[in-house]
Amino acid sequence: MSWDHAEIRDLIARALAEDVGAGDATTNACVPAEQQASGFFLSRQAMTVAGTPLLPLIYDQEELEILCEDGSVIDDETVFARVRGSARRLLTLERTALNFLQRASGIATNAARYVQAVEGTSAKILDTRKTIPGLRRLEKLAVAVGGATNHRFGLWDAVLIKNNHIDAAGGVAQALERCRDSGLPVEIEVRNVDELDEALAAGADHVMLDNFSPEQVADAVRRIDGRARVEVSGGITLETIRAYAEAGPDFISVGALTHSAPAADISFRIESA
């Protein structure tokens, strides 16, 4: 997982093409072509910085200074990056750079809150595939900056047997048996204690407890008694996650890390060179 990945570069190119099109009409009318300027990125809230490795990919003709690296926790009104070059280019690239930084830093800040909420427990916070189509690599990178752990990237790198797979396969045992030779890590989601017992009897070593209450999770952890890794999932919020973590699971997967992360409040200010 790298910010300097072909998918990320393509994403930036498409974002710029979408925004700039045939040219920045306002900037080209207002600003002389030869004018130079400097600018800076300013936090407008306390946040975890993420996405700064994208700036050299966006500002590939400018002088760039990163003052706060990814993972830095900064207060509001903190300047965390500076850029100098053509005034026209600084203005034209502003919104694309802000869109990426606000999305990445928003996710990292959100993830860091969830990680902090379970501090002192054994539970690790996992992300999910609930990402904006086309932005998964960026969003999972931002999750990791915030201190949470990436779950599977897609459908190809791990087996996760969910409710519909169980129903389509004819049951828990049948689904597990058919996945044994996949050569991939295998996890199975269970909806109740009966399915949990079936999964354990069939040799499952990683179970996901779907929509269990914290009390039900604690009972299930005792029932499993170390025979399998335990993950919990399903509507877990920042307000409820501590209770789930204290119930003793190994992992808590949270779709809200990405699908409900608010954009970080960041401004770009331009100055005359």
Q: Which residues are catalytic?
A: 95, 130, 162, 189, 210
Whose tokens are 């694309």? That residue is: 96
Q: Using alpha carbons, select from 9, 85, 101 the residue that is nearest to residue 52.
A: 101
Cα–Cα dist 249/235, whole Å: 16
Q: What is the DSSP letter of 51?
A: -
Cα–Cα dist 53/69, whole Å: 9
* Contact call for residues 251 and 228 (beta carbons, < 8 A): no
- Could you tell me which residues are beta bridge partners of residue 231? 208, 251
Helix, coil or strand: residue 203: coil
Cα–Cα dist 240/22, whole Å: 49
